[in-house]
Amino acid sequence: MGYVIAIANHKGGVGKTTSAINLGTLLALTGRKTLILDLDLQGTATSGLGVRKEDQAGLAGMLLEDKPPVDVCRPVYCEDLFVLPLGKQAATIEDEIRKNPLLMEKLESVLDRMAAAWDFVILDCPPTFGLIPNAAIRQATYTCIPVQCEFFSVEGLTAMLKRIQELQTAGGRSPRVGILLTMYTQGDESSDQVRKAVEQNFRSLLLAPIVPRDPILSHAPLIGIPAVLQAPESRGARAYLELAWEVMKHERQETG
Ligand code: ADP
Ligand code: MG
C-alpha cells in the first residue's frame, strides 16, 4: 500500500498547494511513483504543475463515467510524477455524492485503488471540510498541516487538529499529524510569535523543516514549473528537500 499524505488546513493561502507541488516533485525525483491529487475546486496544484485543468476529466470522470486512472492521471515533468485534478465536473461532484450514497462507496474504493497503485499519494486539500476531502483524510496515512507564520494562524488550530484526528480514527488509522511552519521571515515579529506559540503548544507535532518566505516559491506557479526544479539551491527549495527526507523517514518507519 502506498503512503498517503494529506496536506490540509481549513485556512486558505497557508502554503498547502505550494507544499503539495514541491514535496510531490521531490518524492517523484527519488524514483517513487507519486500522484498529486488536487482536491481543490480552484485546481491550483494542477495549473501550478503546468496542466490545463479545464481539459481534464479528473476524479469526477472516474466517479461519474468510470474512466480508468490511466486516462485521467496526467504525467508531469518526470516519469514518476502525476497529477489528478477534480475535473471538469468538479463543481457538482459533491452534490452528486450527496444524492447517491453509492458514489461515496465508489470514491472510497477509488482512493484505495490509488493508494495501492502509487508509492506516494499527496492530497492537496481545499480550505474546507467537504465530503471529498473528508473521505481523503480518513484514508491518509499522514496529515501535514501547513501553518503560515502570520498573526491569527494559530487560532482554530486545536479544533482543526481534533477534527483531523477524529477523521483519521474514523478511517481506522492511528492519527499521524505534523505541523509545517510556512512563509517564515527571520526577524519578523509575527513570524517569531507564531513559531514560539507552535513550539510551546504543539511541540511534539512540529516538523523540523521551516519553510521560509521565498519569492521563488510564489513565482514558480506563474511558469508552471515547481520551485524545487527551477531553483533547487533556493532557501525555499531546500526546506522542501528537508521535508521530503522527513516524509521518507516516516514512510520507512511505517512500512518497516
Ligand atoms: P493554499 O494552498 O493553502 O491556499 P498556496 O500554496 O496556494 O496556499 O499559497 C498561497 C500563496 O502564497 C500563493 O501565492 C503562493 O505562491 C504563496 N506562497 C506559498 N508559500 C510561500 C512561501 N514559502 N514563500 C512565499 N510565497 C509563498
Ligand atoms: Mg491550495
Residue owning the nearest CA to atom 9 of ligand 1: 15
8 Å CB contact between 72 and 30: no
pLDDT-derived band at 153, boundaries 50, 70, 90: confident
pLDDT-derived band at 3, boundaries 50, 70, 90: very high
Backbone dihedral angles phi then psi of residue 6, each to the nearest 5 degrees: -90, 135
Question: What confidence tens digit (pLDDT) does each residue in 191-244 have?
Answer: 999 999 999 999 999 999 999 999 999 999 888 899 999 999 999 999 999 999
Name every residue whose Cβ is closer than 8 Å to that of residue 1 and which is 6 or more positions away in sequence: 115, 116
pLDDT-derived band at 74, boundaries 50, 70, 90: very high
Task: Specify the range with the lowest mean pLDDT, choosing from 125-134, 145-154, 167-176.
Answer: 167-176
Coil, strand or helix at 15: coil
Q: How far is the CA of 81 from the centre of ligand 1 (A)?
A: 21
Nine cell digits for residue 172 = 481506522
For a pocket test of ligand 1, which of 218, 219, 243 has the largest count of ligand atoms closer than 8 A to its C-beta? 218
- Nearest-angstrom CA–CA distance, 83 and 76: 7
pLDDT attached to residue 179: 97
Q: How far is the CA of 104 from the centre of ligand 2 (A)?
A: 23
Question: What confidence tens digit (pLDDT) does each residue in 115-136 have?
Answer: 999 999 999 999 988 999 999 9
Q: How far is the CA of 40 from the centre of ligand 2 (A)?
A: 7
- Nearest-angstrom CA–CA distance, 230 and 223: 9
Residue owning the nearest CA to atom 14 of ligand 1: 218
Pocket of ligand 1 (CB under 6 A): 12-18, 44, 182-183, 211, 213-214, 217-218, 221, 236
- Nearest-angstrom CA–CA distance, 251 and 172: 18
Is residue 256 pLDDT above 80, yes or no?
Answer: no
- E-assigned strand segments in 10-92: 34-38, 74-75, 81-84
Find the helix or strand (DSSP H, E) in which 26 lies. helix 16-29
Q: How far is the CA of 256 from the centre of ligand 2 (A)?
A: 32
